[in-house]
Amino acid sequence: MKIALIAHDKKKEDIIQFVTAYKSVFQQHELFATGTTGKRIMEEVSLTVHRFHSGPLGGDQEIGAMIARGEMDMVLFFRDPLTSQPHEPDVSALIRLSDVYEIPLATNMGTAEVLVKGLEHGYMDWLKLRKKQGEINDKQK
């Protein structure tokens, strides 16, 4: 599966701890991240991560484009709800795209853990349904 990892500045330590705790799960999947988050995961957790630009420079939008093309399966976005973000419209667009394309999205560690535990135990039937629906839509075009 293709998993996006994003964290606002005040949540970077949290995502590093989270990815470290579930390294055995994450190493089985293809990881994508915004700039600094991806760099830190690669350096501190020793996982391979495809890095995009930082969020304020378009990284959120790059991940959003993958979602729109059907190329992303899950997004873990550790948001800082107490700090104003200059690129908030991009954040909102990413969340909206996740909803439009039915991509599981966690915005905090608690929800991320539920998603990763489901991934770890193979509870991903929603993905099969989504891919089947995509095939049906493609045939109708």
The total of other beta-carbon atoms located within 10 Å of residue 79's CB is: 17
Q: Which DSSP category does 83 fall into?
A: S
Phi, psi values for residue 111, rounded to 5°: -70, -35
- In the chain, where does DSSP find H-type helix? 12-21, 23-26, 35-45, 59-68, 88-100, 109-120, 125-140
The verdict on whether residue 84 carries a ligand-binding annotation is: no
pLDDT tier at 139, thresholds 50, 70, 90: low
CA 132 and chain centroid, separation: 22
Segment 22-48, tens digit of pLDDT: 999 999 999 999 999 999 999 999 999
pLDDT tier at 132, thresholds 50, 70, 90: low
Res 49 pLDDT > 80? yes
Segment 56-115, tens digit of pLDDT: 888 999 999 999 999 999 999 999 888 777 667 778 899 999 999 999 999 999 999 999
For 52-77, give the DSSP string: ---GGGTHHHHHHHHHHTT---EEEE
Residue 101 has which token pair? 């394309």
pTM score of the predicted model: 0.88
Residue 116 has which token pair? 């990763």
The total of other beta-carbon atoms located within 10 Å of residue 131's CB is: 12
The predicted pLDDT at position 134 comes to: 63
Which domains occur in the chain, in start order?
A: 2-140 (3.40.50.1380)
Q: Answer for the pair 71, 43: CB distance below 8 angstroms, yes or no.
A: no
The verdict on whether residue 87 carries a ligand-binding annotation is: yes
The verdict on whether residue 55 carries a ligand-binding annotation is: yes
The predicted pLDDT at position 32 comes to: 98
Quick check: is 14 catalytic? no
Q: Spot the catalytic one: 9, 60, 73, 90.
A: 60
